[in-house]
């Protein structure tokens, strides 16, 4: 019995993936390590498969890049002349590890292809791990805390957490509202996880801010511990609110222009027939008629005249009076408006306070139209306050808001009910009794302000009277 190993047996003993090619560059044999490490080549590793076929198949199956394949091809071509010092090509083994591919000349002008997996330490030992963890945590931009569930004692916090939440040693203080911590624990305990729960957090300087908390409940040294991250949502929510505000403005603008167009078309059509009704009704009144008939005709004329007023108001609104802008002092515009308001009956008993900083620059506006806007808003406020029998107060504040002049008019009336806030700027929307209002005031104001490149909005302030804000660009 011979004890000599065959070449094939010898190859199968080595754990290094090896393939041997003959002098015609056809595959002679591969060892089991090769088959195992390059399972992805299964099917092309049968004896006599040409080297070139193996390479092109590897490229086709995306295990080798074109460049790597052409490098290997080139190395093989040069093997005969330059058996040493061949460059290496990095490839990826079936298990994902990178490996260096090398070609070595064999006797008989064949060659061997070997793969040397890059051996990196896959798992760092404990002390290295600790070091890595501490480096990662120190650099971690996330607000991370680890605290005992029982007493809230903080066991660890990242630098970002110290910055956002302060240096206190109890995580209970991170909740501005204790009941929210109760809700948080109620979610965390049964499932051991909470993701993105909205809370009001309490920050380093006592500042309360909207936040999202995500957490995992883990065991650490025999105790239940919460690992939590807290995100400050202040900026994100402010940005979302601003986008929502702008979308509302845009929607309002589109709605107004569509509605305005339809209504002014109708008003136009009604104008002539209405004049016929009113004219003939007046002629009838001049006839010798019974008192009963007279009363009826007078009612008819009254109603028809009201229609005429609405139609005229519409037409003047639709006519889009051209702007006649000139530079005006803010204080003067407001003064003119409050004077006009004070001279009307509706202002009786209402106290108007004005606060305009003396250093506000002038604005370029059509003064008559902007005064009309202010008077309309003041009149609405007075009517709302009169309806609810309140000692009326209106505060007018003007200030700079970035590139705009902002004028806020606040009353202490009943405020605008939430159910109608989306409609108050619509033409013809009114909550007043028939004859008291046409519902055109705010629609007209909106149109004028938008024509100035500005905006008119109802400021959201539940349960606190109504505040309307006008913004006009300074230049």
Ligand X SMILES: Nc1ncnc2c1ncn2[C@@H]1O[C@H](COP(=O)(O)OP(=O)(O)OP(=O)(O)O)[C@@H](O)[C@H]1O
DSSP state of 88: P
Identify whether the C-beta of residue 171 lies closer than 8 Å to the C-beta of residue 230: no
Q: Helices (H), strands (E): how many in the chain? A: 12, 17
Q: How far apart are CA 31 and CA 58, in angstroms?
A: 18
Stretch that binds ligand X, among 241-249, 338-346, 361-369, 428-436 (CB under 6 A): 428-436
Q: Is 260 in the site for Mg ion (CB under 5 A)?
A: no
Q: Is 260 in the site for ligand X (CB under 6 A)?
A: no
Stretch that binds Mg ion, among 200-208, 276-284, 434-442, 451-459 (CB under 5 A): 434-442
Return the structure tokens found at 319. 């006519």
First to last CA, the chain: 106
Stretch that binds Mg ion, among 209-217, 237-245, 437-445, 467-475 (CB under 5 A): 437-445
Shortest reach from residue 463's CB to Mg ion, in Å: 22
Q: Is 441 in the site for Mg ion (CB under 5 A)?
A: yes
Element of type H or E holding 58: helix 51-60
Q: Is 432 in the site for ligand X (CB under 6 A)?
A: yes
To the nearest 10°, the Cα dihedral for 363, 366, 370, 375? Answer: 130
Q: How far apart are CA 415 and CA 30, in angstroms?
A: 87
Shortest reach from residue 412's CB to ligand X, in Å: 10
Nearer to Mg ion, 92 or 379 (CB): 379
* Residue 161 touches which of Mg ion, ligand X, none (Cβ within 5-8 Å per kind): none
Query: Considering only residues 384, 396, 407, 448, which one is a binding residue for ligand X as defined by CB under 6 A?
Result: 384
Q: How far apart are CA 373 and CA 366, in angstroms?
A: 11
* Residue 439 touches which of ligand X, Mg ion, none (Cβ within 5-8 Å per kind): ligand X
Q: Is 438 in the site for ligand X (CB under 6 A)?
A: yes
Exposure string (b/e) for 27-50, b if CB count within 10 Å is 16 or more? bbbbbebbeebbeebeebbeeebe
3-state secondary structure at position 307: helix
Query: Considering only residues 440, 448, 455, 456, which one is a binding residue for ligand X as defined by CB under 6 A?
Result: 440
Shortest reach from residue 441's CB to Mg ion, in Å: 3
Query: Considering only residues 72, 304, 363, 466, which one is a binding residue for ligand X as defined by CB under 6 A?
Result: 466
Give me the helices (H) in 229-366, please.
234-285, 291-318, 330-342
Relative to beta strand 393-401, strand 351-355 is: parallel
Nearest residue to ligand X, scored by beta-carbon proximity: 441
Q: How far apart are CA 188 and CA 205, in angstroms?
A: 27
Q: Is 413 in the site for ligand X (CB under 6 A)?
A: yes
Number of shown-chain residues binding Mg ion (CB under 5 A) = 2
Q: How far apart are CA 356 and CA 336, in angstroms?
A: 14
Q: Is 427 in the site for Mg ion (CB under 5 A)?
A: no
Q: Is 450 in the site for ligand X (CB under 6 A)?
A: no
* Residue 454 touches which of Mg ion, ligand X, none (Cβ within 5-8 Å per kind): none
Q: Is 146 in the site for ligand X (CB under 6 A)?
A: no
Nearer to ligand X, 153 or 431 (CB): 431
Nearer to ligand X, 213 or 334 (CB): 334
Stretch that binds ligand X, among 171-179, 204-212, 278-286, 380-388 (CB under 6 A): 380-388
Binding mask 371-400 for Mg ion (x = CB under 5 A): ---------x--------------------
| Residues 6+ away with beta carbon under 8 Å from 155 | 146, 147, 148, 220, 225
Shortest reach from residue 391's CB to ligand X, in Å: 15
Query: Considering only residues 162, 437, 451, 457, which one is a binding residue for ligand X as defined by CB under 6 A?
Result: 437
Nearer to ligand X, 352 or 384 (CB): 384
3-state secondary structure at position 300: helix
To the nearest 10°, the Cα dihedral for 177, 178, 183, 184? Answer: 90
Q: Is 380 in the site for ligand X (CB under 6 A)?
A: yes
Angle at 398 between CA 365 and CA 244, to 5 degrees: 85
Shortest reach from residue 444's CB to Mg ion, in Å: 9
Applying CB under 5 A, the residues found at the interface with Mg ion are 380, 441
Applying CB under 6 A, the residues found at the interface with ligand X are 380-381, 384, 411, 413, 415-416, 424, 429-432, 437-443, 466
């Amino acid at each position: 019995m011979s004890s000599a190993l065959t070449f094939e047996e010898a190859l199968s003993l080595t754990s290094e993936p090896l393939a041997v090619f003959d002098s015609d560059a056809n595959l002679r044999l591969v060892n089991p390590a090769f088959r195992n490490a390059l399972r992805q080549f299964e099917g092309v590793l049968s004896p006599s498969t040409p080297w070139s076929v193996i390479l092109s198949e590897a490229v086709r199956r995306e295990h080798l890049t074109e460049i790597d394949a052409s490098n290997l091809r080139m190395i093989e071509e040069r093997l005969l002349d330059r058996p040493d010092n061949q460059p290496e090509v990095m490839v990826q083994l079936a298990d994902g590890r990178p490996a260096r591919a090398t070609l070595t000349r064999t006797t008989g002008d064949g060659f061997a292809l070997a793969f040397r997996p890059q051996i990196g330490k896959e798992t760092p030992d404990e002390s290295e791990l600790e070091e890595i963890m501490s480096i990662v945590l120190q650099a971690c931009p996330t607000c991370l805390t680890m605290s005992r569930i029982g007493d809230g004692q903080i066991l660890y916090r990242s630098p970002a957490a110290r910055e956002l939440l302060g240096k206190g040693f109890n995580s209970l203080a991170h909740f501005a509202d204790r009941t929210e911590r109760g809700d948080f624990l109620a979610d965390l305990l049964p499932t051991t996880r909470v993701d993105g729960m909205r809370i009001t957090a309490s920050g380093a300087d006592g500042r309360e801010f909207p936040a999202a908390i995500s957490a995992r409940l883990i065991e650490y040294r025999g105790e239940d511990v919460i690992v939590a991250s807290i995100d400050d949502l202040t900026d994100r929510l402010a940005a979302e609110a601003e986008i929502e505000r702008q979308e509302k403005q845009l929607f309002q603008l589109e709605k107004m222009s569509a509605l305005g167009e339809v209504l002014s078309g109708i008003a136009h059509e009604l104008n002539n027939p209405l004049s016929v009704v009113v004219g003939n009704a007046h002629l009838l009144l001049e006839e010798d008629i019974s008192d009963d008939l007279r009363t009826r005709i007078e009612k008819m004329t009254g109603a028809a005249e009201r229609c005429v007023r609405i139609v005229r108001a519409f037409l003047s609104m639709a006519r889009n009076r051209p702007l006649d802008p000139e530079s005006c002092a803010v204080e003067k515009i407001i003064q003119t408006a409050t004077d006009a308001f004070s001279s009307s009956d509706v202002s009786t008993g209402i106290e108007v306070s004005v606060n305009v900083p003396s250093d506000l620059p002038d604005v370029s506006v059509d003064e008559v139209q902007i005064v009309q806007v202010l008077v309309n808003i003041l009149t609405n406020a007075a009517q709302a306050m009169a309806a609810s029998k309140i000692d009326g107060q209106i505060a007018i504040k003007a200030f700079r808001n970035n590139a705009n002049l902002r004028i806020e008019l606040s009353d202490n009336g009943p405020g605008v009910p939430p159910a109608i806030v989306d409609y108050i700027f619509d033409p013809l929307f009114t909550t007043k009794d028939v004859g008291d209002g046409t519902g055109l005031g705010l629609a007209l104001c909106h149109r004028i302000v938008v024509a100035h490149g500005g905006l008119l909005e109802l400021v959201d302030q539940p349960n606190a009277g109504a505040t309307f804000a006008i913004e006009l660009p300074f230049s």
